[in-house]
Amino acid sequence: MRFHTRKWVKPEDLNANGTLFGGQLLAWIDEEAALYSIVQLENPKVVTKFMSEINFMSAAKQGDIVEIGIDVVKFGTSSLVLRSEVRNMMTREKIITIDNITMVNLDEDGKPKPHGKTQIEFVEDRLGK
Ligand SMILES: CC(=O)SCCNC(=O)CCNC(=O)[C@H](O)C(C)(C)COP(=O)(O)OP(=O)(O)OC[C@H]1O[C@@H](n2cnc3c(N)ncnc32)[C@H](O)[C@@H]1OP(=O)(O)O
């Protein structure tokens, strides 16, 4: 799994328990999944369709740095299925895992559109195209 993004847990990210608010973490993951999909599918119109069971395994507190990992599970026809893991760089503990995040590639009318992709592409590989 590649960890592309780090986030710093700030006072505005906390819940009443004084730890990272789960909704904030999910927003970060959703944005990461969307950005990853837009780059991979080369289309800015990609939406989140489905997220599987979410397992919060440990908490993060103010000042902690968390890193968000994304991996491809499957390239579908219009979909891209991802998995995500977030870990705490201070404690080295896993914070959350999500095994299936299904993103859907859309056309101009907001309908599912085949993306034609079958494997992960890296920016270096695209430079020669
Ligand atoms: C980044 C963000 O936060 S985006 C904001 C939140 N998301 C949204 O607003 C999306 C709202 N939903 C929608 O607009 C519609 O449901 C759409 C356009 C995404 C999909 O429409 P559908 O009629 O379900 O499309 P359709 O049945 O053709 O399925 C499209 C793909 O999604 C997959 N899919 C559909 N339903 C599900 C589901 N429940 N779970 C997993 N995958 C699913 C299908 O398998 C298909 O994949 P494939 O083309 O690779 O075989």
Contact 102 CB / ligand 1 (< 6 Å): yes
pLDDT digits (tens, 9 = 90+) for 72-123: 999 999 999 999 999 999 999 999 999 999 999 999 999 999 999 999 998 7
Contact 45 CB / ligand 1 (< 6 Å): no
Contact 76 CB / ligand 1 (< 6 Å): yes
Cα dist. 29→14, 102, 109, 127 in Å? 16, 12, 26, 28
Structural contact between residues 80 and 41, judged by C-beta atoms closer than 8 angstroms? yes
The pLDDT-based confidence of 129 (bands split at 50, 70, 90) is low
Q: Please list, in sequence order, all residues whose beta carbon lies within 8 angstroms of the beta carbon of residue 41, skipping any fewer than 6 positions away.
A: 80, 103, 105, 115, 117
CB burial of residue 8 (10 Å; 0-12, 13-18, 19+): exposed
pLDDT digits (tens, 9 = 90+) for 37-55: 999 999 999 999 999 999 8
Ligand 1 atom 45: residue of nearest CA: 79
Count of domains for the chain: 1
What amino acid occupies position 109? D
CA 88 to chain centre: 16
Contact 49 CB / ligand 1 (< 6 Å): yes
Token pair 């920016």 in the structure block, residue: 123
pTM of the model: 0.95
| CATH number where 82 lies | 3.10.129.10
Task: List the domain range (segments joined by +) for residue 28.
Answer: 2-128
